Structure 1
């Protein structure tokens, strides 16, 4: 059978959406390998998959814990060093040697790591780019995903969307002019303006056509328009948009995911409606995180029908939440899928994986977007009427409680959640990613590569 590798960004929020496809491929008899830094070996093994170290010189064992505990300035300084290390590994041959030695029949690469895809292309390794958020490029009247804007439906709306894109691209051009020279002499902590030029150079070295790089994206890393790019999300949750060649929405919620068993289930009160609140695995980055969590504690405590489970994440200021009522269960990490199966409402940060899991399990949500693609995900929640959105700056006890009570008492919102959840579950059960992967593996070139690899492995065993 085939050898399939996944190389995702070094975060659970980017690895978890791939587990459903990986598990299905493994069940079909394929060998599945994750190429990730050493800190993820235990987690990947717990999910039942093989791990091989990748970028371990850049992210040595223990880096996750050190990074989360560091100050914001230190994290910025380390991020610049990590990006420089990745660039060196990509151009210095380390990535190529790892991929050549493994020789996968198919490689899945995170959109934010698509330099790895260029190296794989040079080696002749078939590759698919995986996007853990909705397509971040200009697509009709779709706004940049970092904004809370809705699709344009009027001349004024189109003007606002166009202005948002112009501001984004202008900031990027200014970054190239102002920040990039300072990066060369070590006077800034922002590596982003360097990536487009680096990717263009890497593309030239890999034989990738320069017109296959698209810089007009929400993120500073150019898109590889000459490669297939799959979206790890349901099309039904996206904004309506024109079809695009190569775009495929694939299954992405693994309900078999192994979660932490260390949770005080006996503290849950079955007579109360469970409100589950979590700001995701990157909560340590969010400036407003502790204040948002405090507002949710106070909002839920004021309603005797509710009980709150609060997952703080590894936020260095989580203790600033202060005292909580005895009915509130506070943990650092929670078994999210298991709790969502019992939850009546969810409060999340608008992270796409949390939004998807709440939707699939039929839970209306209050999104409090913090950063990255979260405002755009919250806009989609509002657009489809499956929840409400609260800006972190507006997160007060009164406002949070009013929105939660609206969600709790609205049959129409719950009905929209049920309807969209059914469409999502139908798409997940269809397994379009599995079907397309096996179609690609059946192709003549990949079958030939597989025979050659199996021959080399047999010779090595002999």
Structure 2
């Protein structure tokens, strides 16, 4: 139905478009690659040739979609060393410019003689926009998280960056950014607008997770909701016989050095009558650090999260963009324990939607966690609201609509 709607809106059958060369650009981070995977798989299935620029550590993940990995060397910190991002705002933004400056020549050379018809890119891939300008082809941002609304600059960005812009390090950063843009044919372009204001953006999150959604310019930003696919390649999970309730606990893949938190989870739900717990502890914590683990808790360094959530009754999450929308897409009530960056805002948004409770890490005791989870499931309004949001997300279009919108940006003729 959605596909037919878009055929009528754009006045042409999207499936009959000529085979195009589409270039995707991203960074080596699960939260930036994973949201795009199913969209890329769909574009390939529609007959397009997709080149996906990515560091080698994610090449296999890209290749299974049918896209051609274009390998480049990145200087960005990886999920193995999150501490390298530092503690100040400048520590979080400077690495992206540094990486862009050194990656641009690599990427330009990789596409010599093979210029794409369209560039799609993660929000962090500055070289993608420069190359699209150089090549004279359209560029479309794929945003894995919230986007700017009308008034965002005055309300959020300006206060956040004011101190940085007055510091010597901040002034040097902006001067270098402007010089880099000037050198690459984007003279006069404001770095803040370059980073945060794309010409066209497809937003890979449900609209309910977007703050001030009523003030987002939908001529620029199109929300398509979760693009999850069946994730069959990640494996399956089966609910144990006799489990009345299933709880998934996961802090994602990066901010998982939390043995104390996991011990509190074991204490909270171990031997709780009728409950089965799937506890993902990541690769930085050894199961031996948890002490004695009761039989109703299975411990893994990694689990096929979506497969578990489809059968879970509750979800303790760090409220990353991926986990938040997977919890919403499966109608699973959540306890949000945010760890970093956008997770705090996501946690508050989930709470405001009526489907979650927030507990900060320092307050995440066994008693608090147990009370939050049991309280969620005892509240019929939470269950009703979770199901209402799940149904609403299912109507946003997801992968099919994202691919339709990308095809609509391809040059005609």
* TM-score normalized by the length of structure 1: 0.75
Match of 1:200 in 2: 178
Match of 1:147 in 2: none
Contact 2:97 2:177 in 1 (8 A): no
User: Structure 1 residues 259 and 402 mapped into 2: Cα distance closer, same or farther (>3 Å)?
Assistant: farther
Match of 1:53 in 2: 71
For the residues of structure 2 that align with 1:9 and 1:438, how far apart are their CA atoms? 23
The gaps in structure 2 that reach 5 residues or longer are 1-18
For the residues of structure 1 that align with 2:221 and 2:84, how far apart are their CA atoms? 38
Match of 2:164 in 1: 172
Match of 2:14 in 1: none
Q: Does 1:434 align with 2:403?
A: yes
> After the TM superposition, which of the residue ranges 239-248 and 331-340 deviates more from structure 2?
239-248
Shift of 1:47: 4.1
Map Cα deviations across residues 144-186 of structure 1 (whole Å, 9 max, x no partner). Answer: 9xxxxxxxxxxxxxxxx95x65652233224xx24358xxxxx
Match of 2:214 in 1: 241
Match of 1:261 in 2: 235
Match of 1:2 in 2: 20
For the residues of structure 2 that align with 1:225 and 1:52, how far apart are their CA atoms? 26
Match of 2:204 among 213, 216, 232: 232
User: Structure 1 residues 31 and 233 mapped into 2: Cα distance closer, same or farther (>3 Å)?
Assistant: same
For the residues of structure 1 that align with 2:398 and 2:160, how far apart are their CA atoms? 37
Contact 2:140 2:198 in 1 (8 A): no
For the residues of structure 2 that align with 1:392 and 1:258, how far apart are their CA atoms? 32
For the residues of structure 2 that align with 1:319 and 1:113, how far apart are their CA atoms? 40
SS of the residue corresponding to residue 338 of structure 2 reads: coil
Match of 1:359 in 2: 328
Contact 2:149 2:216 in 1 (8 A): no
For the residues of structure 2 that align with 1:82 and 1:138, how far apart are their CA atoms? 23
SS of the residue corresponding to residue 283 of structure 1 reads: coil
Matches within 5 A, 1:9-158: 9-55=27-73, 58=75, 68=80, 72=83, 84-90=98-104, 93-135=105-147, 137=148, 139-140=150-151
RMSD of aligned residue pairs (Cα, Å)? 3.1
For the residues of structure 2 that align with 1:273 and 1:434, how far apart are their CA atoms? 37
* TM-score normalized by the length of structure 2: 0.84
Contact 1:253 1:356 in 2 (8 A): no
For the residues of structure 2 that align with 1:236 and 1:209, how far apart are their CA atoms? 37
- Size of the aligned set, in residue pairs, is 390
User: Structure 1 residues 82 and 213 mapped into 2: Cα distance closer, same or farther (>3 Å)?
Assistant: closer
User: Structure 1 residues 356 and 262 mapped into 2: Cα distance closer, same or farther (>3 Å)?
Assistant: closer
For the residues of structure 2 that align with 1:291 and 1:139, how far apart are their CA atoms? 41
Q: Does 1:250 align with 2:224?
A: yes
Match of 2:374 in 1: 405
SS of the residue corresponding to residue 362 of structure 1 reads: coil
The gaps in structure 1 that reach 5 residues or longer are 145-160, 182-192, 216-221, 448-462
For the residues of structure 2 that align with 1:203 and 1:83, how far apart are their CA atoms? 11
